[in-house]
Structure formats: structure tokens, C-alpha cells
Chain A
Amino acid sequence: MPAKTKFEVKLGAATREAFGRALVELGRENKDIVVCDADLSKSTMTTYFAKEFPDRFFSFGIAEANMVAAGAGMALAGKIPFVSSFSAFAINKGFEQLRVCAAYPHVNLKVVGTHSGISIGEDGPSQMSIEETGLACSLPGFVVMAPADEPSCKALVKAAAAHVGPVFIRTGRPKAALIYNGDQKFEIGKSIQVAEGKDVTIIANGLLVAQALLAAETLESEGLSARVIDMHTVKPLDRDAIARAAADTGAIVVAEEHLVDGGLGVRVAQVVAETAPCPMEFVGIQDTYAESGQPDELLEKYGLVARDVAAAVRKVVARKR
């Protein structure tokens, strides 16, 4: 466990970039890795794989439903397919195919959505994916992950390839603050405590892990000690870590770049309710769509920065006892 030192925001690559690089490494290790894309390979970064392994890269045009189901067919024939598009398109346009062709027969298909959340920025709500974690988690047997930074994303993409069964990974467009230095081990379903604390626990994933660490620093100066957990796997949840956090700190804030409805927060709340009930607050997108703007402006306007996490912590701590 890293000792609590000052968290300095140092940007690493975007998680989509980490995904693209990880795919190439996977492709070198295993000839059964194949990749499908729907006319966005230059944005999803599957273009790296396409360049090195043109025979194992399949273009499906702007037709996500067909791509997802064809990916399932490749998996049924023994391949390990990664199908990729923006999260908004892979999940929403491919949802029925994820349900019937991948989840129901429990097929070894990997789906990686990029440009998730509102930090995609200027393109606006039609391209922003704020519902997909809830949708993906509703599919029986699916593993659902939302890595925070470059090293964790790279490792979790590889873990997804090694896992037998359907997986969805949520990645983002902007460069992500580095949480890890590359020595950390990552395992599906095993969260990582990135800061120790005793008064409250902040459970976050994706870009919000860095914001949680920044909030924890502010709170420390106010005399509040916050534990921070990177819940990179939304399904299956690390129940033990959640139950321990609830019992040890007696208050939990969940922070994510996703609708509060159906996201990480409600899933954590279920575990808390079942194990050690305690006050909880939720940082996420409220019942709305966002708009065009720069990523930082949007995260601020829609309440997804360290200040919002800190405010939620103060609120939840006040509810303790």
C-alpha cells in the first residue's frame, strides 16, 4: 500500500491509448487475438494492431450490431476477439447482440469502449457514454472494468484476454493522471487501496480516482483522513474491500464519470446495505445529458472534480453517528 504522500498530477497516456498498445503486445504473444473495429480505429487506437497484424484486424464499417455478433462468432470458433468502438456505440448499438450472442451463451468476447463519459468533450452528448456501465453490468456473466490510468488499463486489458468469458472495458479519450508507477499488480475483481484513511472511504474508478486522491489531500488539511480505493472492476465487485471500508471508516463516497443511476455507486451501495450499512454519498452525473465543451470545463460543470468529491465527503462525515 502506498504511503500517503502528496499526489502530484502527472499525466500519462489516455486509457484508450493504453488499450491500443496493450493489444499490440497481446497480438505478439497470442495469434488467436483478433480485433474488430467500426470505422473508428484511429480514435479507438486499434490502428496500432491493424498496422502490425493486418490479417487479424477486421473492418466492419459503421455497423456495430453486426460487428459485435460477428465477434461472438469468432469467439465461438476459438478466437479471442476484441471488438472496439466508442462506448456509446459499442454498447448501445450492440446491446441486443451483447445480450443474445455474447452474454446468454457466455462467449469469450472482449468489448472495449473508448471515449466514455463526458470527458470526450466537444463532440457532445450523442457521442458521450454515460449509461453503459449500468447496461454492461446488467448482462449476466459479464466482467465490467473502468481503469483509471495507463498502467492499470494496459494490465487489465491483458487480464481480460486471459479471462475466459465476456468482458467490457470502459476507456476514455483524454490523457489520464498516473495513479500507478507500473510495479502494481492488477487482478480482475480485486480493488486497490491507493490511499489509507480512517474517517471515510472514497471509492472511485476511471478519471475520478485522481480526483479522489486530490480531494483526500484537501481533506487531510482539514483533519479528515480519507481512504481511497480504485474500484477498477465494477463487476464482479470486490465485496470484501467494500465491507471492510464500511466497517472501518463508517462512511463511503462513491465517485464516477457515469450516471449515478445504474453506475458503480448503486452497486457499491448494494454491498454496503448487505454487509455493514453506513451513510453514503454519490458523485456522478445526475439525471441529465451534458453538452459540448472542453473536457476540464465539463467535468467541473457536471460536478466531477476533486472539489465535488471533497464536498460529498464533508456531507457524509456529518451524517456519521
Chain B
Amino acid sequence: MAKSLPELQAIAKRIRRDIIEMIGAAKSGHPGGSLSAVELVVTLYFDYMNIDPKNPTMPDRDRFILSKGHAAPVLYSVMAELGYAETPRDQLNTLRKLGSVYQGHPDMRFIHALEASTGSLGEGLSVGIGMGLAARLDGRKSRTYVMFGDGEIQEGQVWEAAMSGAYHKLDNVVAIVDYNGIQLDGFVKDIMEVAPLADKWRAFGWHTIEIDGHDLTAVRNAYQEAEATKGKPTAIVAHTVKGKGVSFMENNPKFHGTAPSADEVKLALQELQ
């Protein structure tokens, strides 16, 4: 299901508009980290992963875990666009409302096609390691992709998981760090510096690739390089811009966890024409 670059660019723009509208309608949520992850998630779902939205339980499918669960809107919008039965497009604006499948953080009880329930930071890679071990044991080609925020990897469990991924030589697991430099309280470097990030993953025994996380070609190449890398897991350190695509949200810590006002939604949607 490979897509052309212009097609992917158009999809990325639609996803960004969805994110703004959903969070605007919810009046709460995390726009910045959803917008920074768009190209990384879009490339996986529309261009790279072996998935079938009509058959979400296919045993050989690739799996994606959004460990930074607060970026749920980007995942919901992508799944809706792909036509998963459980994620209707016309309900995206019920995000965070009582009874909605679009829970504040991804919840498998509401959407079974999700691979994990996430939201408590730092846990997704461990779950992905388990999935990678199971796939290898069963001789399935299934690959597992786990996306974190950069603030999230301050959690110690991430590094326990990193150690175990290298120790178990899980070349079917890919860690993706959405390195946008901002967390809730401010800039990552001011809250708890995580740099030098690529060096850390290398030191933990991961094949490490640093890319511009908004460059669709670079993103695709990184996923390809990860798949070609045998005997060790791959970490993709993706340099991104928090709030990417909306001028007043870009690099603005306020929009880590604040919904845009009605006026800001209008402005943002104009920019995303």
C-alpha cells in the first residue's frame, strides 16, 4: 500500500486538521505532541506497516504502540482515515466525551484494534519487547514499532526496556523518539535534560538513526534501514517540532497540553489549507 510523496503530504495535512478540530471540540487535550508525530505515524500506517484495517487481528500484522498516549488524536485520526470499523471518521469530534471510543488516552476496551492501552508514560517499549519476543518465538514476521516522547524517556523503565531489547537481540522492534524538545512544564533541557539522546541508545546497544522527523523520505528510509538491520533493535531519534504546522503552536510549551480556543482553531485551520 505504498503511497506517493504528494499523497502522503496531503494525508499528513488532513490528519493535522483533524487533530486541531478534535482537540478544539474536546476543549482539552495535547495538540503539540500530536502535531509533531504526524509524519512518523502517517508513514508507518499509510506507507510502511503490514496491516489490514479490514482484518485488524491478522496474526502477522505489524504493531504500533503509542507509548506517548496523550498524542492519541494523531492515532485516532490515522485509524479513522484508514477505515478501521471501530474508528468512524464522523465521530472524531466526540474525543474525550463520555461514551466516545476516542478516550483521552488510547484504550483497548473501546477500540480493540489498538495494540495496547497507554497513557502512563514509559511503559510502551516494554510491551513492545514482549510482542517482539512472542513474534520471534512463533516465527511470525510481525514487527513492532513503539513511539515515545522525549520527556517520556526520562522514565527509568524505558532504559530497562532498552537494555532488554538489545540483550534479546530484538531486530523486530523499533523505538521511535519524537524528539520535539518540549514537555508539559517547559523545554526538556530545563526540566530534565535527555541529551545526548542518540548516544544513549547506541550505548544501550541499539542501532540508532537520527533523522528530521518531518521529512517523509527520511522517515521511510529510516523504517527501511531498521528492517534491514539484523541482530539488534533500532532506535529512530526523530528531530521534530512541537506543534508542527501551526505557526503559533510551533515550539510553544503552552500547546503541550492546552486545547486551542475556537478562534485559534479557525486560525490553525486557515494555515492548514
Residues of A at the B interface (CB closer than 8 Å) are 34, 55-56, 58-61, 63, 65-79, 81, 96-97, 99-101, 104-106
Contacts and interface: CB of A to CB of B under 8 A. Distances in A.
Interface residues of B, number: 33
Interface stretch (B40-48, B132-140, B201-209): B132-140
B127 interface: yes
Interface stretch (B94-102, B112-120, B247-255): B112-120
B126 A97 contact: yes
B85 to A, nearest CB: 19
B123 interface: yes
B13 to A, nearest CB: 33
Given A72-B127, A105-B107, A105-B108, 4 more contacts: A70-B126, A70-B161, A73-B116, A77-B63
B128 A73 contact: yes
Contacts of B126: 65-70, 72-73, 97, 101
B127 A61 contact: no
27 contacts: A34-B133, A34-B134, A56-B137, A58-B133, A58-B168, A59-B167, A60-B160, A65-B126, A65-B157, A69-B157, A70-B161, A70-B164, A73-B127, A73-B128, A73-B132, A76-B131, A77-B134, A77-B135, A77-B142, A79-B137, A97-B123, A100-B118, A101-B117, A101-B126, A104-B107, A105-B107, A105-B109
A63 B130 contact: no
Contacts of A105: 107-109, 116-117
B129 interface: yes
A67 B161 CA distance: 8
A68 to B, nearest CB: 8
Contacts of B118: 100
B218 interface: no
Contact of A66 (B120, B134, B164): B164
Contacts of B129: 66, 70, 73
A119 to B, nearest CB: 30
B186 to A, nearest CB: 25
B254 to A, nearest CB: 27
Given A70-B129, A101-B116, A78 B134 contact: yes
B157 to A, nearest CB: 5
Contact of A70 (B59, B108, B117, B130): B130
B89 to A, nearest CB: 25
A73 B131 contact: yes
Interface in B78-101: none
Binding site of B, secondary structure by majority: helix, strand, loop or mixed?
Answer: helix
A101 B63 CA distance: 16
A147 B120 CA distance: 33
Given A74-B133, A76-B115, A101 B167 contact: no
Contact of B164 (A60, A76, A81, A101): A60
A105 B65 CA distance: 14
Given A101-B123, A105-B108, A72 B130 contact: yes
Interface string B162-183: 0110011000000000000000
Given A97-B123, A100-B120, A100-B123, A77 B130 contact: yes
Contacts of A70: 126-127, 129-130, 133, 161, 164
Interface in B138-156: 138, 142, 156
B187 to A, nearest CB: 26
B157 A77 contact: no
Contacts of A60: 160, 164
Contacts of A99: 120
Contacts of B119: 100
B163 A101 contact: no
User: Among the interface residues A73, A74, A106, which one has the most CB atoms of the partner chain B within 10 A?
Assistant: A73
A93 B2 CA distance: 43
A76 B126 CA distance: 12
A101 B127 contact: yes
Given A65-B160, A100-B120, A81 B167 contact: no
A106 B163 CA distance: 27
Nearest to A73: B130
A55 B130 contact: no
B199 to A, nearest CB: 21
A69 B109 contact: no
Nearest to A78: B134
A63 B164 contact: yes
Contacts of A104: 107, 109, 117
A63 B128 CA distance: 16
A78 B117 contact: no
Nearest to A60: B164
A177 to B, nearest CB: 37
B189 to A, nearest CB: 26
Looking at A58, A61, A76, A77, which has the most chain B CB atoms within 10 Å of its CB? A77
